[in-house]
Each structure stands twice: as C-alpha cells, then as structure tokens.
Amino acid sequence: MDIEQRQSELIDHFVKRASAVSDAAALASVLVEATSHPSLFAFSEILALPNVLQLEATENSAFLDMLRLFAHGTWSDYKSNADRLPQLIPDQILKLKQLTVLTLAETHKVLPYDQLMQELDVTNVRELEDFLINECMYAGIVRGKLDQLRRCFEVQFAAGRDLRPDQLGNMIQTLSNWLTTSESLLVSIQEKIKWADAMSEIDKKHRKDVEEKVEEVKKSIFKADIDFRGHEEICSESGGVMDYEEDRSRPKRLKNLQEAASNILKIVVDKGAHWMSSLVACLTFIHGMRPQRESAFADKYISHRYYSSVTPQGEIGTRRKKRGKPVNFFEFVFRKIDGVSRTILI
C-alpha cells in the first residue's frame, strides 16, 4: 500500500478514536498509542481536536505537550524538556528519532555522519548506518545514498512533517511566488507560440514566392531553348538544304543544357544562395576539361555555316547562312540563377 494512503487511513483511525473518548486518562492512552505506531508520522489532525486541546492546564497536559513534540519537535527537544514530559517507551523513542531525521532533511540534502550521530545519540557509524537503512529507508520515509568515503548521507527524498504555525507565512509566500512565476511563464509561452505561427506563415509565403520565381525562370529557359531551336529556321531560306546530322544533335544538346540549368536552379533553391559561387566554379572547371567540339556545354556555337541551295532559276549554288549572335550558355544560365538567388536573399 502507498505510504500516503496508509498515513491517511491511520490518521482517520486515530482521529475517530480520540474524538470518541471523553475521559482524560483514556485520551492520554490513545495519544501514546498514536505516537508509538510504526507507520504514523503526522499528528496535526489529532492535535487539532477540541477534546485533545482541553487537556491544557490539566494534570494530563504533559500528554498534550508530548503530542506537540511528535508533531514538530526532535529528539534533542525531548532531552532538553524530559523533566516536563512523560517517559517515552522504546517505540516512541524510535519514532522521535525517525522524525528528527526528517527535520534535518528538510533544510539539508547532505547530512554529515557526525551531525547525525550527535542528534540521534548514536555512538558509531555502523549503528548509524543500520538505523538509516532499517528504520528510515526501509520504512519509506527517506531515500538516499550512504557515502562512507565522505562520511555523509545524501538525501534524495524525505517525507514531510506537520507544519509549525510559524511556517505557514513562509509557505504561503513561497506558493504565491510560484504562482506568479507560473503565470509569467505561461504568458511568455503563449507569445512564443504566436511568434512561431507568424514566422511559419511568413516562411510559407516566402517559399511560395521563391517557387513562383523558379517556375518563371524555368519558363524563361524553356522559351530560350525554343528560340535556339527556331533560330536556324527563321534565318534560313525556303528550300535550303541543311546539315541534318548536326541539326539533329543540336536540339538534344540544348535539351541537356535546359535540364542542367533546371537542376542547378533546384540546388540553389534547396541549398541556399551561398552555393552559387561553388556551383559556378565547379561547372566552369568541368566545362574547361572537356573538348569544345564534344562538350554539351560549349561556350559558343559556330557563328556561320555554308550550305547548298537551289535558286528559283534552278541553279545550284552555295550560300552562307548567318546563325545569329554567338551564344554563351553559362553566362545566360548563371544570369538566371543570379536573379533567383537575389530573390532568395531578399
């Protein structure tokens, strides 16, 4: 059974017994039984009973003082006032020493052996450690670690004792401070949540804008590809005989260039604009290592080419067809990427 539940049941049991007793001697007997019970460590409820308080200024008032000692005092307090208190039985002495350990653990989490031996009237370390293990830790009122090297008891948990009247003000102040701090923390958390939601919306809008810019650049590259493919047809004469072997490979090269540019744009958007310089340097190096005639990223196409054609009069001749301005693809693509990167930085 849980120690708190057991405490509650024992308190209710002794409160009912003490409330039902009207004779002072019988009530004193109940108080002795309650203070010597091995599992009861709280006495404020019994101490607050009217018939118990009526023992004041009677011949049995010493039992009221004894109950107050078990509610708030220690073994040292008993030794100082033993002449005014009833003689304690062994079970009561054991109980009072257990309560003394709880009192010391309220304010200090590391209890030196020397202090404990002095407060508990223990003569050696072996007896002290046996008491802490068998009578305190096994009873469930404290948990901790015995450090024989440092000669101390490190408290990890200690059951609470009854509050003294002078402790109520400090307890109320501590709880009020905790409540104020909790309210301030709650307000701060709510503000952080609102800020996070706002930043999320801004990020979504920015991402959407970047995606739209990327789509625009992709469309621009696609349009440039179409212009490259149609440039020769626009400049050529009707009926001209073309070098179809080269023309068939040219759209494929331009398609590869378009795919490469799209991949570069995707990397810039995913990884950030600071990748721009690295990508430019890497691709320029790769381009420089390949032969110009075989490279899919050739800097310039041949500006002019001669081809055979048939004139309207039926004569076969040779004409020179202008191919337009030389195309520097790297400059074209990187100009587009630079525009996207500037958008990202904005």
DSSP 23: S
Q: What is the mean pLDDT of residues 187-196?
A: 94
Question: Is 107's pLDDT higher than 90?
Answer: no
User: Among 31-40, 146-155, 161-170, 243-252, which stretch is predicted with the lowest mean pLDDT?
Assistant: 243-252
- Domain stops at, among 168, 190, 215: 168
Question: Is 248's pLDDT higher than 90?
Answer: no
Looking at the structure, tell me whether residues 141 and 216 fall in a common domain: no
Categorize the per-residue pLDDT at 165 as very low, low, confident or very high, splitting at 50, 70 and 90.
confident
Number of domain units in the chain: 2
Looking at the structure, tell me whether residues 18 and 150 fall in a common domain: yes
Q: What confidence score (pLDDT) does residue 306 get? A: 40
**Structure-token pair, residue 88:** 């304690």
Looking at the structure, tell me whether residues 235 and 109 fall in a common domain: no
254 within some domain: yes
Question: Is 304's pLDDT higher than 70?
Answer: no
Alpha-carbon Rg for the chain in angstroms: 47
Residue listed under structure tokens 């708190």 = 4
* pLDDT, the chain, mean: 77
Categorize the per-residue pLDDT at 315 as very low, low, confident or very high, splitting at 50, 70 and 90.
very low
Phi, psi of 157 (to 5 degrees): -155, 145
Looking at the structure, tell me whether residues 278 and 336 fall in a common domain: yes
Question: Is 274's pLDDT higher than 90?
Answer: no
Q: What confidence score (pLDDT) does residue 72 get? A: 93
188 within some domain: no
Question: Is 247's pLDDT higher than 60?
Answer: no
Instruction: Give me the amino acid identity at 327.
Output: V
Looking at the structure, tell me whether residues 20 and 163 fall in a common domain: yes
Q: What confidence score (pLDDT) does residue 153 get? A: 97
Looking at the structure, tell me whether residues 230 and 277 fall in a common domain: yes
Q: What CA–CA distances, in Å, run from 336 to 232, 276, 342? A: 24, 12, 10
Question: Is 148's pLDDT higher than 90?
Answer: yes
Q: What is the dihedral of CA 87, 93, 97, 102, to 10 degrees?
A: -90
Q: Is residue 340 within 8 Å of 265, Cβ to Cβ?
A: yes
184 within some domain: no
Looking at the structure, tell me whether residues 243 and 331 fall in a common domain: yes
61 within some domain: yes
189 within some domain: no
Looking at the structure, tell me whether residues 163 and 232 fall in a common domain: no
Looking at the structure, tell me whether residues 9 and 153 fall in a common domain: yes
CB atoms within 10 A of CB 285: 9
Looking at the structure, tell me whether residues 203 and 163 fall in a common domain: no
Q: Is residue 296 within 8 Å of 253, Cβ to Cβ?
A: yes
Q: What is the mean pLDDT of residues 41-45?
A: 93
- Domain stops at, among 152, 168, 184: 168
Categorize the per-residue pLDDT at 57 as very low, low, confident or very high, splitting at 50, 70 and 90.
confident
User: Can you give the residue range of the structural domain that contains 220?
Assistant: 198-345
Looking at the structure, tell me whether residues 248 and 318 fall in a common domain: yes
Exposure string for 173-212, b = 16+ CB within 10 A, e = fewer: eeeeeeeeeeeeeeeeeeeeeeeeeeeeeeeeeeeeebee
15 within some domain: yes
- Domain stops at, among 151, 168, 185: 168
pTM of the full structure: 0.56
Between CA 8 and CA 159 the distance in angstroms is 14
Looking at the structure, tell me whether residues 213 and 112 fall in a common domain: no
User: Among 180-184, 242-246, 279-283, which stretch is predicted with the lowest mean pLDDT?
Assistant: 242-246
Give tens-digit pLDDT for 221-230: 777 666 655 5
Question: Is 344's pLDDT higher than 80?
Answer: no
**CA 216 to mean position of chain CA atoms:** 41
Q: What is the mean pLDDT of residues 307-329?
A: 45
Q: What is the mean pLDDT of residues 267-286?
A: 54
Question: Is 237's pLDDT higher than 50?
Answer: no
182 within some domain: no
